[in-house]
Structure 1
Amino acid sequence: MDFTACYEDTVSSVAAAARAGRAGRVRKLLGGGCRVDSRDNRGWTALHEAAAAGSSACVREILAAALQARSCRGAPDLVNAQTHEGESSCYLAAQRGHLRVVRLLLKAHADVNQMTNDLSCPLYAAVDRGHKDVVELLVSKGAEVNRTHTASCWTCLHQAVYKGHSRIVSILVKVCNLEVLDDHGISPLFVAAQYGQKESLEALIHAGADVNSQAADLATPLLIASQEGHAACVDLLLDHGADPNRACSTEWPQLPIHAAAEFGHKGILRRLLDVTDPACGQTDGMVSPLYVAVNRGQTESVAMLLRAGYSPDAQDCTCSLGVRSPLTLALSRASNEALRECVDLLVAAGATLEEQDWTQVFVSDGPQLLQLVLQHRRFPRRESPSTTMQHDGRTTMKLQEQASMLTAALSCTGSASLWLPVLLSSGLEPSVLLQPRLFEEVDSEALNHLLEFMNWTTLPPPLRLILDQRRAGRSWEPRPHFDSLPLLSHICRLRIREILGADVLMRSRAVQQLPVPPLIHDFLQFRDNPETLPS
């Protein structure tokens, strides 16, 4: 290569003049014997410079000189010469939107489909930059429209949609394969839905693109639009036949409603609630959207799903997700404020607590989680174990649920000092706690607290034996009055408790309505016991 007439940056004199758009200077230099095909350290010629600068006059001068050089000396074809990056002059002009230059180069037989080192071409470059007129010209001249141009196998249509060049999309949908897929099985319509390109999506739909196409992982355009929060695209897809009940995952039957719930897109979730089969909320083998909403701590999504009638118990997803219920999932991470609020919503909606759920409640760091659960539960009375909703909004606990609670409590006796006062102050009948294991294992003060809620002189002999053994072994230090008969006042409040029911006595204003002096109210509710928590 001849660099005898170069500037310090290795650009030849002709190339420098072409870069500046000085056609007269280019003509003079070429007429004076300067070579037309000199290259710089990037492999650029003067024609590359003129094309990139958009100087049609310089391009004409260089093409004319190149044609003369070829006829005289058999010089190589300059119009299709490539830089070290594989860029042709046509590519550089198309990339920069120089329509007149592209037209000149094509007339000079530039290769409209010549590829660069990175698999681009003049059409792809024009599409990427949004040069509509150049795209129209290249398409009319036979540019290959369905070739892939990136490592991920994107076509010009993919790129036009991604960039939001809707006018170019309108051109390409007339000549492109609408269902061409990249290496992840993603169609151009999927890209439009993913990036919220509503106008491009509309053009693709009207051209006949499949709104239910699925990527390699089975994701649909409706799923991705729901996930990304593109409400207008969701509406457009649904209005044109997108199926909201098509499974969209290879792992478990995920639906668009799951994506909306997981990412908290309320408007989209509201729309999908109207069209999604609610069977996904309870059918075995499926997954309720409550699971993903709880997992992300999307409390508003949880509330919306519950109001729409989705069961708070959902289906057992131990096999697919490794968790039994949405409540189990929420309880496992209830130290998080959002998850704690999810617990509140689920329990209020009637979610069933199994033994493992109660265990999680009892082993938490404090009594707050148990208090939260019991805000929505009424302990059953033995003579009336109904499950009807009471006037205060709390649900009467099923006997089986209470049995699960007690089993879990007995497995957590080490933390009884935290949960036992909460149960008693919430209205649990103390007689259900007369269990040998509890009397054997709880610490001294927790045991004393329990005894304050009963007539300690009438304990069954096996329990009295345990107390005697613990006292002898110094693992229990009874309060002094436990060696005496209970006062008549204590016997009276136990009788009142029996008549009203422990729950009514401890958690209502029934005591305030009794014809007794106000000073006795706290006594009747056992608040003389220092560890009793207020209801």
Structure 2
Amino acid sequence: MDFAERHQHTCSAVGLAAREGKHRLVRKLIQKGYSTDVRDNRGWNPLHEAAFHGSYECARVLIRAARSSCRHRDYVNSLAHDSATPLFLAAQQGHARVVKALLQAGADTNRVTDDEAGPLFAAVDGGHIEVVELLVRNGAEVNTSHSVSGWSCLHQAAFKGHAEIVRFLAGVAHVNATDDFEITPLFVAAQYGQQRCLQILADAGATVSCQSHDLATPLLIASQEGHLTCVEALLDRGADPNLFCNEDKWQLPIHAAAEFGHVRVLERLLPLTDRVCDRGAGKVSPVYSAVLRGQTETLQVLLREGYSPDAQECSPYGYSSPLAAALCTPAMSVEIRCRVPELVKVLLGAGAHVDGSLYRGCLQRDLPYLLEPLLKRGGTPAGEQLVELLRAGLDHLHTAAVWLPLLLQAGLDPALFLRDSFFEKAGSDVLNFFLEFTNWKMLPSLLQNILSRRRADSTWAPLQQFDALPSLCHLCRLALRDAVGGEALAQRDFVRRLPVPPLLHDFLQFTDAFTPGRLPKQPPLEEREYLGHGPHLPE
């Protein structure tokens, strides 16, 4: 909406003529006694209108008329409701002739608006180099703060990418001026990808490895934003890629590139970064940065270049390894969550160590399919880690159709789930699957009672075989499992060495129970895709 046109009925006749650039009409109205200082609803008088619309001849007429009164200088510097002067409006719009006329009439070059922006700042913001030079020659202050954030005009020129204005101001202003956050113009150029401005500032003497109040450097911020040309310009001018950049969590530019997925920036920084960050005590490997933000591509680059998939214990983030970080991030977004299976695959492919405490994280984050690759690499957990896994399983029975087959196929002892909470809450198909690994006629009486009650309540629909005694063959394989252990029986090589006919090998490994028709009902396809890979079970 054009605010001026919407409310033009509040504008005086002289103001309307000045807006339209009709200088003869302005002169005629003044001669007839019309006032030159009637304000509209913004506080603008006719000189504001002439200045904003670049009506040079109108401005001259108005200034000449004001000279006949004792309020000449006040009129030239008259303030709108937001404290904007005619000079501010002319500078903002880049009307150099009007600016020059106002300056000759005594306009104040350093009067600021309510938001602390002066005419020079407005001209810089608009990229009006001629006006900028004109104002500076007439005393405009180039080193003071011209905005609520504490930015100087040079900050704003770097932000907008006005290279020629930066070049001019760099010759008259402090190139290392800082705002309220100790950020310099060069830092701003690096943050917003203004390569030419950055080069001009650096060549004019700006510090390339300056640090803001939180220790961030221009190289860090350029790496974070993915501005490769700025990164290269900084490195070519001596920026330090090994300068510590974060008080709370140890960070270098390479971490920012890895975290935000900027592969080309990462590749540029890799040969220049001290490898002590990879596994050094008290440091944080950039592998963590890639993992915690779900950046598979930068993770692959780091691992390919020899960074460790295990790294060091990450105290600042609270993770024992990158694999633990991938599985246990508390505030995991949906986007990152969908990338976890690929992250785990990449880390395991690079030889990441699997600790038994990781299994619990798969269940707690509702990523049960990821148990499969972990179990293949690390085997079933023991001791306190096994206790934690069982506790997590009982707390996440809604995904038991996924994790229970994986655990039993890996050789976990089914007796561990002979608990009333499991029998009370497990789904009907999960219970039926589980019972195939037991002697269902010899269950403890408490569990038998639970099954009877659930059957009566129609919350459990038993398979027909559970009404009969287990076969002798089934009892024999249960006895063999008790004798040698479930983990041993889960290993194909071990079973092949048993003094039994080869036809019994699959039977001893309960392969019949893992056929698709007898597995618990899996989650819907879209949920399986969300959670990760489906279980890789025998056909």
Normalization by structure 2: what TM-score? Answer: 0.75
Structure 1 residue 485 displacement after superposition: 6.7
Judge conservation of contact 1:505–1:525 (CA < 8 Å) in 2.
Answer: no
**2:322 matched to 1:326?**
yes
1:313-334 residue CA offsets vs partner (Å, 9 max, x unmatched): 21112x3112222111222269
Q: Are 2:88 and 2:122, in contact at CA under 8 Å, matched by a contact in 1?
A: yes
- 1:256 equivalenced with 2:253 (yes/no): yes
> What is the CA deviation profile of residues 459-505 of structure 1, one whole-angstrom value per residue up to 9, with x for unaligned ones?
xxxxxxxx998578876997331697789xx99xx9xx99x993547
1:481 aligns with 2:458: no
Residue 364 of structure 1 deviates from its aligned partner by 7.3
Are 1:211 and 2:208 an aligned pair?
Answer: yes
**Could you report, residue by residue, the CA deviation over 1:116-161 in whole angstroms, capped at 9, with x for unpaired residues?**
2221111111111111111111112221001112111111111111
Superposed displacement of residue 288, structure 1: 1.4
Contact 2:419 2:447 in 1 (8 A): no
Give the match for residue 338 of structure 1.
Answer: 339
Distance in 1, Cα, partners of 2:354 & 2:137: 68
Change (3 A) 1:437 1:46: closer
Match of 1:46 in 2: 46
The whole-number CA distance in structure 1 between the counterparts of 2:9 and 2:15 is 11
Give yes or no for the alignment of 1:408 onto 2:385: yes
Measured after TM superposition, the shift of residue 78 of structure 1 is 2.1
Per-residue deviation, residues 334-372 of structure 1 (Å, max 9, x unmatched)? 993311221222222222222321333577768622222
Kindly state the Cα deviation for residue 48 of structure 1 after the two structures are TM-superposed.
Answer: 2.2
Q: Distance in 2 between matches of 1:484 and 1:469?
A: 11
**What corresponds to 1:394 in structure 2?**
none
Cα displacement string for residues 410-462 of structure 1 (whole angstroms, at most 9, x for unaligned residues): 55457598767546756x6x9xx69x97899998988886689xxxxxxxxxx
2:90 is paired with a residue whose SS is helix
The answer as to 2:506 corresponding to 1:502 is: no
Inter-CA distance 182–12: structure 2 relative to 1 (3 Å threshold): same
Do residues 527 (structure 1) and 504 (structure 2) align?
no
SS in 1 for 2:87: helix
* Identity percentage of aligned residues: 45
SS in 1 for 2:348: helix
SS in 2 for 1:202: helix
Question: Residues 149, 424 of structure 1: CA spacing in aligned structure 2 closer, same or farther, 3 A cutoff?
Answer: same
Matched, 1:94 2:79: no
Aligned counterparts of 2:56 and 2:194: Cα–Cα separation in 1: 35
The whole-number CA distance in structure 2 between the counterparts of 1:340 and 1:217 is 34
Identify, as 1 or 2, the structure richer in helix: 2
Deviation at 1:221, TM superposition (A): 0.9
**Which residue number in structure 2 is paired with residue 241 of structure 1?**
238
CA distance in 2, matches of 1:354, 1:270: 31
Structure 2 vs 1, CA of residues 206 and 484 (structure 1 numbering), >3 Å: closer, same or farther? closer
Give me the whole-angstrom Cα distance separating, in 2, the residues matched to 1:131 and 1:473. Answer: 86
CA deviation string 1:367-415 (max 9, x = no partner): 622222245x3xxxxxxxxxxxxxxxxxxx6xxxx58457634554575
SS of 2:69's equivalent? Answer: helix
Q: Which protein, 1 or 2, shows the higher relative CO under an 8 Å CA cutoff with sep ≥ 6?
A: 2
Q: Secondary structure at the match of 1:193?
A: helix
Aligned position for 1:201 = 198
Query: What is the letter of the counterpart of residue 225 of structure 1?
Result: A
Distance 1:327 1:527 in 2: 31
Please give the per-residue CA displacement for 1:176-212, whole angstroms capped at 9, x wherever unaligned. 1111111111111111111111111111111111111
Q: Separation in 1 of the partners of 2:136 and 2:417? A: 84
Change (3 A) 1:410 1:438: farther
Q: TM-score, normalised by structure 1?
A: 0.75
CA–CA distance in structure 2, aligned partners of residues 471 and 27 of structure 1: 108
Counterparts of 2:374 and 2:382, CA distance in 1:
12
For 1:365 and 1:60, the matched residues in 2 are separated by 74
1:23-69 deviations in Å (ceiling 9; x for gaps): 22222233333344444443333322222222222222222222223
From the superposition, tell whether residues 169 and 315 of structure 1 become closer, same or farther in structure 2 (CA, over 3 Å): same
The alpha-carbon distance between structure 1 residues 366 and 15, as it changes in their structure 2 partners (threshold 3 A), is closer
Q: Which amino acid aligns with 1:83?
A: A
CA RMSD of aligned residues (A): 3.9
Q: In structure 1, how many angstroms separate the alpha carbons of the residues matched to 2:300 and 2:243?
A: 24
Q: 1:526/1:171 Cα in 2 relative to 1: closer, same or farther (>3 Å)?
A: same
- Gapped regions of structure 2 (runs ≥ 5): 1-6, 395-399, 424-430, 452-465, 520-536
State the AA in 2 paired with 1:479.
P
**Aligned-residue offset at 1:255:** 1.2
Cα gap change, 1:468/1:330 in structure 2, threshold over 3 Å: closer, same or farther? same
Equivalent position amino acid for 2:356 in 1: E
Greater Rg over alpha carbons, structure: 1
Q: 3-state DSSP class of the match of 1:9?
A: helix
How far is 1:98 from its partner?
Answer: 1.0
Per the TM alignment, residue 523 of structure 1 is displaced from its structure 2 partner at its CA by 5.6
Q: Equivalent residue for 1:162? A: 159
**Would the aligned equivalents of 1:362 and 1:409 in 2 still touch at CA under 8 Å?**
no
CA distance in 2, matches of 1:484, 1:47: 102
How far apart, in 2, do the equivalents of 1:128 and 1:425 lie? 67
Query: In 2, Cα distance between the equivalents of 1:484 and 1:25?
Result: 111
- 1:243-277 per-position Cα deviation (integer Å, ceiling 9, x unaligned): 11111112021111111111111111111222111
SS in 2 for 1:62: helix
Q: Secondary structure at the match of 1:69?
A: coil
Task: Count the aligned residue pairs.
Answer: 467
Matches within 5 A, 1:133-172: 133-172=130-169
1:115 is aligned with what amino acid? Answer: V
Distance in 1, Cα, partners of 2:13 & 2:507: 105
C-alpha displacement of 1:102: 1.1
**Corresponding residue to 2:175 among 174, 178, 199:** 178
Letter in 2 for 1:329: A
* Equivalent in the alignment of 2:75: 78
Q: Which runs of 5+ in 1 are unaligned?
A: 1-6, 378-396, 453-466
